[in-house]
Structure 1
């Protein structure tokens, strides 16, 4: 299974549907890395074109990988070893292509995706084919159309028990990874 995830901070929308660069957050790094390790994801890319944000991620990772945090919380170090700060989605795709020998299929997520989408059972079938897969999560108010247009597949939005549909990206990532990769008493959820 060669599944990797990327959290895009650009290009994403703000509330006015303008393309922006959103800020990296410490919580997203920690929580998505921990979920990725739990569900067998091989890499987690933090994607931002801003040099100062990439440096911030590097400093945080250094603390948890080599610094005091690594000694105090070795299990967190394991999760944060998956994180790779990267400047662009194109760079992530190129890295995966070089490592896997083929371009990864891109599976996008989003609370407001419309049009043809894959159900979770269809997405699990896609995963079962064994091709490299990059699952894309967006920050801000969602992935920009240019990313949506690049996608090979769109995952159906999470549907909860109410009409409320505005999870944090780290909550959504965990729920999605669980639905796609989790084992529920030996049975996959639909």
Structure 2
């Protein structure tokens, strides 16, 4: 097995609101901190925030600067380390281009959803592909009420849904990210 070439992106656009209108959501402090920490824990190559609004890009840049170089870096060096893999891009195409510059090839796009599709892949199957190290993989997470149909249709695979014990299925993106990272990159504790 090779070394995983794994990237994660949290898309704030294009996503749906609850009326299925295409919108751009705002960045949340928790998503930056918590997903960056999970990503660093699981040795993700890079964690991207995708938001085309300049005000949101500036907000992310200011927070990253604070935790990477200001008092925040001295106060919390662990946060500085987690933020070292955080990057902001305006569009998904910018993320793909950045990964191509790093890896020499475009990543395999994988998205997530609470439903199954014809191109749904199991965690076990995707884990095996990722750990082969043959190709870079980019897993896309959506905000709001989910990624648009166009984004969903542009990906090679859609990860199988995360199921709990009951019928309720509405995890926060931070919780979903942690579960996904553990299943794909964590210790193989189940055998």
Q: Do both share a fold (TM > 0.5)?
A: yes
| CA RMSD after TM alignment | 1.2
Among 85, 91, 94, the alignment partner of 2:94 is 91
Partner-residue secondary structure (3-state), 1:78: helix
Q: Distance in 1 between matches of 2:149 and 2:176?
A: 20
Q: Which runs of 5+ in 2 are unaligned?
A: none
Runs of 4+ in 1 over 4 A off after TM superposition: none
Q: Is contact 1:179-1:189 (8 Å) kept?
A: no
Q: Which residue in the other structure is 1:10 paired with? A: 13
Among 20, 31, 35, the alignment partner of 1:28 is 31
TM-score by length of 1: 0.95
Matches within 5 A, 1:13-162: 13-130=16-133, 131-162=135-166
Q: Distance in 2 between matches of 1:172 and 1:75?
A: 22
TM-score by length of 2: 0.94
Q: Distance in 1 between matches of 2:119 and 2:6?
A: 22
Partner-residue secondary structure (3-state), 1:65: helix
Q: Which residue in the other structure is 2:181 paired with? A: 177
Q: Distance in 2 between matches of 1:72 and 1:134?
A: 32
Once the two structures are TM-superposed, the CA of residue 188 in structure 1 deviates from its matched residue by: 4.6
The superposition leaves residues 79-115 of structure 1 with CA deviations (integer Å, 9 ceiling, x where unpaired) of 0111001101000001111211111000101223433
Partner-residue secondary structure (3-state), 1:99: helix
Partner-residue secondary structure (3-state), 2:121: coil
In the alignment of these two chains, the number of paired residues is 187
Q: Is contact 1:103-1:132 (8 Å) kept?
A: yes
